[in-house]
Amino acid sequence: MLIRLKWPTPRACFCSCWWWSWWSSSFRSWRPSGSEDGERPRVRGGPGPVRRWIPGGKAAVDAARRTSIPTSISTVWTPKVTTHERLQHDPRSPGVTVVDPPAKRIAVIGATSRVGRAVAAIFLELGWSLELTARDPDRIDPMIRRPGGSSPHPARCHALDLAEADAVDRVVDSIGGDALDAIVVAGSPFDETPLAEATAEDFTFHAAAQLAGPARLIQGLRPALAAAASPAVLLFGDIHAWSRPRAHATPYLVAKAGVEAMVGLLAVELAPVRVFGVSPGVVGWPEDWPESRRKAYLERVPLGRAGTSEEAATLVRSLLLEATYCTGVVIPIDGGRHLR
C-alpha cells in the first residue's frame, strides 16, 4: 500500500504556530495560589496547589516576577546579626574568644614639646600604643602616660638625649623588637645664637641632637619598621632653614637644614619605608618673644596668625595614615610665611 504524503499549506503552518503560541502562553499564566505573596507551594503528598488565571498572559507573569525579586533577595540575604556579634553574645558557644588585632605602635621623640604632646594625644585617641621619649620622662603629660578609657594601651616612657649616643642605643634596645609603625622626631633643642657669638661646640651640639641622634635612632629601629605593614618616619625641620633664611639662629638652623636634606636621603635608603619632613614656621610662640616682635612677624604671614601645635599634629596624622603613595617630601606649615 503506497501512502502519499503532502506538505502542509502555508495557511496550515501559520494556524498551527499561532495555536501553539497561544496555548503555551496561556499555560504559563497558571500559577500556584499565593506564590506572588511569597508563600511556599503545598508540600509533596498533600493536595495539589490551587491554580488560578492571571490576566495578561506571560508578560504579566514576568513583570510580577521581576517586581518581587528585590524583596526576596533583601529578605533572604540581609543578616540581622553579624557573626562577630553572635559569637560574642551566644551563650551556647562559651569557648569562643574574639581576638582583637594588635595595636599599632608609634615612637614620639620629644614628647614634652608642644607638638610632641599634641601628636601623642592624637594617636592615643586612635588607640595606638605609644613609645614616648624625653630628656626628663617625668615631665611627660600624666594623661598620656596613664591613659583612661580612650585607649587600653598604656604609654611607655623612655629617657633620651639625642646628643648622647649611648642613650640612643638604650632606647633602641627598649623600643625595638616588635613591629613599629611610625617614628616622629618632634622635639629638638631651640636657641637663637647668632653667628657672631656661636662656638664650635654650638654647631657640634645641634648637629648631634638634630642630625646624628635621629639618624642613629632610625638606623637602630630599622628592623622594627620593616616588620610593620606600612611604616613611616617623620622629621621636623624649620621654614627658616631653607625657604626663608633669617639671622640670629645660625647653629640651630644649619642643623635643621641638614634635617630637611636628610628626608630625601632616608626615603631612598629606607625604601619602602615612607619618610616625610614637616617644615614649620611659628606653631606656638617662643615664650621670650615680645609682642612687638610677634606683630612684626605676622605682617609677613599671609594667613595673619600663628599656627598651633594641634594643627601641626593633624598634618602629622594625615601624612602617616593617608599619604600612602608619598615619600621624600618636606611640607611647609607656616601660614604662607615661605611666600614672603
Which domain covers residue 155, as residue numbers?
A: 105-339
Residue 29 lies in a domain: no
Is the pLDDT assigned to residue 309 strictly greater than 70? yes
For residues 71 and 66, give the distance between their C-alpha atoms in angstroms, rounded to a whole number.
10
Please state the domain count of the chain. Answer: 1
CATH number for the domain spanning 294: value is: 3.40.50.720
Residue 68 lies in a domain: no
Higher-confidence position of 59 and 235: 235
Is the pLDDT assigned to residue 323 strictly greater than 50? yes
Q: Which residues contact 279 (CB under 8 A, 6 or more apart)?
A: 236, 237, 238, 239, 241, 242, 243, 260, 330, 331, 332, 333, 334, 338
Can you list the alpha helix ranges (DSSP code H) found in 127-189?
142-145, 165-175
The SS3 assignment for 15 reads helix
Please report which confidence band the pLDDT of residue 6 belongs to, taking 50, 70 and 90 as the band edges: low
183-208 pLDDT, tens digit per residue, is 999 988 888 899 999 999 999 999 99
The cell for 163 is 646628643
Higher-confidence position of 14 and 129: 129
61-83 pLDDT, tens digit per residue, is 566 555 544 444 443 344 444 54
User: 132 with 140: CB under 8 angstroms?
Assistant: yes
Please report which confidence band the pLDDT of residue 286 belongs to, taking 50, 70 and 90 as the band edges: confident
pLDDT of residue 184: 99
Q: Which amino acid is at 296?
A: A
Is the pLDDT assigned to residue 258 strictly greater than 90? yes
Q: How many percent of the chain have pLDDT more than 70?
A: 67
Residue 70 lies in a domain: no
User: 98 with 88: CB under 8 angstroms?
Assistant: yes
Q: Which residues contact 223 (CB under 8 A, 6 or more apart)?
A: 176
Max intra-chain CA distance, the chain: 135
- Measured in degrees and rounded to the nearest 5, phi and psi for residue 107 equal -105, 120
Q: Which of 90-94, 146-150, 307-311 has the highest mean pLDDT?
A: 307-311
Please report which confidence band the pLDDT of residue 56 belongs to, taking 50, 70 and 90 as the band edges: low
The cell for 331 is 611640607
Residue 215 lies in a domain: yes
Residue 300 lies in a domain: yes
C-alpha closest to that of 209 among 136, 293, 109, 304: 109
The CA-based dihedral angle spanning residues 274, 280, 284, 288, taken in that order and rounded to the nearest 10 degrees:
130
Mean pLDDT value across residues 246-251 = 92
193-248 pLDDT, tens digit per residue, is 999 999 999 999 999 999 999 999 999 999 999 999 999 999 999 999 988 999 98
Higher-confidence position of 37 and 227: 227
User: 157 with 133: CB under 8 angstroms?
Assistant: yes
- Complete DSSP assignment for 122-141: HHHHTT-EEEEEESSGGGS-
